[in-house]
């Protein structure tokens, strides 16, 4: 786990807890994404790197037998202006970064903080308790604050502060003192294994063999008529296009399209003809090969249904939810090739670079779930045959992958 970033270690700890069948996840929010450059001179470097991945993350959980005893974390969002703080869940502003003398009256006990010191309230709730950063940059220190106005020093290292949070399982008393019975109880409970919560049933309807040439033809057929005509012109077959039927135009395009991988110059022209506007030629070639793959390895198109057992699936994370669900089926190889620690695929919200990776050459939602209480979206995905080993038509698989929710996950 040493190769993981601090943010990734925290995300993985959240996943480990959320997977337990004896846990209720009351709330989990996606990190807020936005430019944070104006904070660079104000935060320690490790805190800045952490917030690039976990800005505004909220996670609250409880054990099943004590649903009202919440544990977790609430990272107040840093606004892109370098000063304001946002409660991303309630969509309201919180106390901004400012000098101690500008905080509300009685917020601090007399003399608790020097009046001219810059203070950032970045963790917790200002009606109960929280964590303060006093000072700025590498000289900043971190302190516990309670609603009686008392401030107690805890760390000079942001990394050590978050490691303490992770190690103590986000217990609600994780920062109160070096030892607390509630913290000890949470740590002991989490150290005791619990079976994982079954979250999805994945039913494989069909597994069809496919070639790269067939996939390229499907992609060409999906292009708009004007894009098809521009591609034909790039390929030197742009005469006599007026009045052609859709079928005839597609036939000409498929016939003219390179059967072998084209050189980079032609690849760039073709991808720009179908509307790609990126200026970097290398990225244009990469995009072309993504959309029009040339591979000798056998491919398959898999039609599957995804039935959620634990909670609703949010519409905006279709592919991520499917990837996580397939990763959560023991023995499958679908997610082999993930460019990072595969443990991270267990996390509900992955670091931003995950958005540039998918095991699928194509992914299509063919049936939405509407407002069903137990939704069953249906997908058609294309992937390398080697990745589909173990997926058999007519079989149903149980997954323990986390649903990407921003609400409750009930105990199993």
Which of 191, 224, 248 is the C-terminal boundary of a domain?
191
Domain-located, residue 408: no
- Do 42 and 133 share a structural domain? yes
Element (H, E) at 73: strand 71-74
Which of 243, 274, 291 is the C-terminal boundary of a domain?
291
- Give residue 370's pLDDT: 55
- Do 302 and 235 share a structural domain? no
- Do 304 and 283 share a structural domain? no
The 3-state DSSP composition of the chain as helix, strand, coil percent (nearest 5) reads: 30, 25, 45
- Give residue 201's pLDDT: 94
- Give residue 36's pLDDT: 94
- Tell me if residue 106 falls in helix, strand or coil: coil
Domain-located, residue 178: yes
- Do 131 and 36 share a structural domain? yes
> Which parts of the chain have pLDDT scores under 70?
1-2, 310-318, 349-356, 368-375, 404-408, 410-412
- Do 337 and 220 share a structural domain? no
- Give residue 114's pLDDT: 96
- Do 92 and 10 share a structural domain? yes
- Do 264 and 140 share a structural domain? no
Which of 241, 256, 291 is the C-terminal boundary of a domain?
291
- Tell me if residue 93 falls in helix, strand or coil: strand
- Do 278 and 232 share a structural domain? yes
- Do 161 and 24 share a structural domain? yes
Domain-located, residue 412: no
- Do 14 and 61 share a structural domain? yes
- Do 133 and 254 share a structural domain? no
Domain that holds residue 238: 212-291
Phi-psi region of 310 (alpha: psi -120 to 50; beta: other; left: phi over 0): alpha
- Give residue 78's pLDDT: 95
Please state the pTM of the whole predicted model. Answer: 0.85
Element (H, E) at 379: strand 378-384
Element (H, E) at 142: strand 141-146
Number of domains comprising the chain:
3
Spatial separation of the C-alpha atoms in residues 369 and 363, rounded to whole Å: 16
- Do 185 and 99 share a structural domain? yes
Domain-located, residue 331: yes
Q: With 0-12 CB in 10 A as exposed, 13-18 as middle and 19+ as buried, what is 50? A: buried
Domain-located, residue 68: yes
Sign of the C-alpha dihedral computed for residues 214, 216, 219 and 223 taken in this order? negative
User: What is the spatial order of strands in the sheet that 396-399 belongs to?
Assistant: 362-367, 378-384, 299-308, 200-210, 396-399
Domain-located, residue 405: no
* Rg, the chain, Cα only: 26
Domain-located, residue 243: yes
Domain-located, residue 406: no
Burial 266-297 (b: 16+ CB within 10 A, else e): ebbbbbbbbeeeeeeeeebbebbbebbbbeee
């Amino acid at each position: 786990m040493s190769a993981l970033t601090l943010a990734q270690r925290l995300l993985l700890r959240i996943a480990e807890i959320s997977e337990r069948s004896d846990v209720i996840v009351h709330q989990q929010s996606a990190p807020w994404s936005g430019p944070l450059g104006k904070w660079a001179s104000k935060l320690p470097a490790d805190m800045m790197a952490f917030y690039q991945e976990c800005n505004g993350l909220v996670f609250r959980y409880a054990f099943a037998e004590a649903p009202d005893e919440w544990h977790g974390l609430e990272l107040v969002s840093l606004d892109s202006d370098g000063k304001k703080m946002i409660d991303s869940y309630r969509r309201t502003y919180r106390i901004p970064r400012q000098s101690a003398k500008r905080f509300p009256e009685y917020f601090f006990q007399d003399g608790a903080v020097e009046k001219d010191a810059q203070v950032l309230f970045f963790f917790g709730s200002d009606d109960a308790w929280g964590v303060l950063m006093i000072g700025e940059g590498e000289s900043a220190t971190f302190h516990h604050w309670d609603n009686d106005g008392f401030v107690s020093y805890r760390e000079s290292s942001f990394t050590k502060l978050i490691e303490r949070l992770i190690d103590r399982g986000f217990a609600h008393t994780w920062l109160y003192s070096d030892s607390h019975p509630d913290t000890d109880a949470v740590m002991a409970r989490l150290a005791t294994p619990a079976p994982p919560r079954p979250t999805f049933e994945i039913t494989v309807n069909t597994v069809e063999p496919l070639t790269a040439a067939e996939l390229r033809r499907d992609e060409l057929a999906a292009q708009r008529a004007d894009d098809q005509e521009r591609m034909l012109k790039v390929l030197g077959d742009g005469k006599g296009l007026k009045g052609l039927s859709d079928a005839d135009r597609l036939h000409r395009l498929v016939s003219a399209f390179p059967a072998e991988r084209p050189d980079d110059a032609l690849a760039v022209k073709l991808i720009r003809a179908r509307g790609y506007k990126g200026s970097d030629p290398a990225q244009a070639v990469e995009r072309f090969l993504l959309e029009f793959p040339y591979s000798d390895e056998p491919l398959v198109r898999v039609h599957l249904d995804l039935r959620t057992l634990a909670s609703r699936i949010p519409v905006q994370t279709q592919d991520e939810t499917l990837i996580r669900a397939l990763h959560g089926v023991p023995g499958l190889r679908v997610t082999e090739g993930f460019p990072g620690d595969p443990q991270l695929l267990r996390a509900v919200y992955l670091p931003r670079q995950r958005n540039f990776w998918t095991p699928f050459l194509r992914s299509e939602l063919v049936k939405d779930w509407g407002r069903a209480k137990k939704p069953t979206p249906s997908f058609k995905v294309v992937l390398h045959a080697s990745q589909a080993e173990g997926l058999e038509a007519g079989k149903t698989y149980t997954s323990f992958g986390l649903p990407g929710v921003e609400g409750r996950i009930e105990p199993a």
